[in-house]
Amino acid sequence: MAAVTGSGVAAAPSSLLLVVGSEFGSPGLLTYVLEELERGIRSWDVDPGICNLDEQLKVFVSRHSATFSSIVKGQRSLHHRGDSLETLVLLNPSDKSLCDELRNLLLDPASHKLLVLAGPCLEETGELLLQTGGFSPHHFLQVLKDREIRDILATTPSPAQPPILTITCPTFGDWAQLAPAVSGLQGALRLQLRLNPPAQLPNSEGLCEFLEYVAESLEPPSPFELLEPPTSGGFLRLGRPCCYIFPGGLGDAAFFAVNGFTVLVNGGSNPKSSFWKLVRHLDRVDAVLVTHPGADSLPGLNSLLRRKLAERSEVAAGGGSWDDRLRRLISPNLGVVFFNACEAASRLARGEDEAELALSLLAQLGITPLPLSRGPVPAKPTVLFEKMGVGRLDMYVLHPPSAGTERTLASVCALLVWHPAGPGEKVVRVLFPALEVPARACGDAPGPGGAAAS
């Protein structure tokens, strides 16, 4: 939690930590998260004589302080320390920030604690989507088993009654197997741990006010707020072969460029597209390659497609100064889109099907995605770019093997090969495996189908 030991300030007898995940790309996710927050708070059976929760939640709404992280852009902390309750709400945190606050919560001497893990999470595993990665039961247990925490607790006097920590988290996926491991850690942590208990408290005015305020704080941003326009004019041109990897939460995005020709590979899992800071300075993305459809690869790309549709509406509506409109409307044109999909391989709980959304947005933009398959052996490349005296960029599709009924659901493994025209220049190969395995870049290496690691 925020302030605890060594400050000379008496600890609050109760502590409340709420964690909300990353940026929301759709309103449907907000409803799910608010329901999870309500479930978590109502499961806390704190004695009203120790903490009047209804009253303290009202105080939080009116008196809390908001802090924007100077280290993790987009992360916000809402905090209030009252006479009987200290409350911390993390919005759009990084995985490191979450782990740090969990350690502080475990070391807080408060007698009653509540941890609510609520945010966008994968439907199959329940892994929470944070700004810089995922948070799974494995990560949670790593914090609980932290050696440093145990050493600190071992040197502090034991209270007469072990503090009670109530934990609410997703009840499905890998989280459903968490109970035995958590129960075995109570002695080492000197805590009574309660995992996902049933609702104990009735609905209240203070809880409603609290959830309404959180809902306002989590309102999905507009496409222009999510993907901000560039601060300077002019376009970037990348001449020499280069490949950038952009961490995007549960999945990454990649960007390859040579002699002004650009390829965007996947969009990452964060709706605040990790590739945008570079791509917004380009006049065109010549090719988009989606290696697999899912919640780890499409949200960042869908944010870009939403922005381009919003730009069309902005042009049609008119109004505002020309300079402001020009800055908002600058985004790269899109070329060919390679995409094998009819439904997402993974999706967020109660979230949209990102693959269906991508197909809908592309249709509204007048872009028809092209499917990919290897075809007969030996595989023949697709020539993406060729210029006399400069070179040729080929794309070899290594998977799926052939077109068929399963092709629309198959992940794509693709190899980009740059053949420079100069005899003294090296051939460059970049392999993009299926799923979220990072792309590998290599210099002069074996031929297509056998690309070597860098």
Indicate the average pLDDT of the chain. Answer: 84
Q: Is residue 445 part of a domain?
A: no
Same domain? 334 vs 372: yes
Q: Is residue 286 part of a domain?
A: yes
Same domain? 384 vs 419: yes
- CA dihedral for 341, 345, 348, 351, sign (positive or negative): positive
Look at residue 4 and tell me whether its pLDDT is greater than 50: no
Look at residue 404 and tell me whether its pLDDT is greater than 70: no
Same domain? 147 vs 27: yes
Q: Is residue 447 part of a domain?
A: no
Number of domains in the chain: 2
Q: In what order do the strands lie in the sheet with 76-81?
A: 65-68, 76-81, 86-91, 14-20, 112-118, 164-168, 192-195
Give the tens place of pLDDT for each residue, 223-267. 888 888 887 766 788 878 999 999 866 788 999 999 989 999 999
Same domain? 111 vs 180: yes
Neighbours of 190 (CB within 10 A): 15
Look at residue 158 and tell me whether its pLDDT is greater than 70: yes
Q: Is residue 346 part of a domain?
A: yes
Q: Is residue 315 part of a domain?
A: yes
Whole-number percent of the chain with pLDDT over 70: 86
- CA dihedral for 152, 154, 155, 161, sign (positive or negative): positive
Same domain? 275 vs 364: yes
Q: Is residue 357 part of a domain?
A: yes
Same domain? 37 vs 135: yes
pLDDT of residue 326: 59
Tell whether omega for the bond before 378 is within 30 degrees of 0, i.e. cis: yes
Cα distance from N-terminal residue to C-terminal residue, the chain = 42
Question: CATH code at 421?
Answer: 3.60.15
Please tell me the distance from the alpha carbon of residue 165 to that of residue 189, in angstroms, as a whole number: 10
Contact 268, 249 (CB under 8 A): yes
Give the tens place of pLDDT for each residue, 98-125. 999 999 999 998 889 999 999 999 999 9
Last residue of a domain, one of 177, 193, 218: 218
For 137-167, give one letter per residue: b (16+ CB within 10 A) or e. Answer: bebbeebbebeebeeeeeeeeeeeeebbbbb
Same domain? 186 vs 247: no
Look at residue 23 and tell me whether its pLDDT is greater than 70: no
Give the tens place of pLDDT for each residue, 310-350. 988 887 776 666 556 655 667 899 999 999 876 677 888 88
Q: Token pair 């077109």 is at which residue?
A: 403
Domain span at residue 143 reads: 14-218
Contact 216, 13 (CB under 8 A): no
Same domain? 48 vs 186: yes
Contact 371, 400 (CB under 8 A): no
Give the tens place of pLDDT for each residue, 174-217. 999 999 988 888 888 888 999 999 998 999 999 999 999 999 88
How many Cα atoms within 13 Å fall on the side-chain side of residue 105?
29
pTM score, two decimals?
A: 0.82
Same domain? 115 vs 163: yes
Q: Is residue 181 part of a domain?
A: yes
Same domain? 29 vs 109: yes
Give the tens place of pLDDT for each residue, 405-425. 454 557 899 999 999 998 889
Look at residue 449 and tell me whether its pLDDT is greater than 60: no
Q: Is residue 288 part of a domain?
A: yes
Look at residue 355 and tell me whether its pLDDT is greater than 70: yes
Same domain? 201 vs 273: no
Please tell me the distance from the alpha carbon of residue 144 to that of residue 140, in angstroms, as a whole number: 6
Same domain? 203 vs 245: no
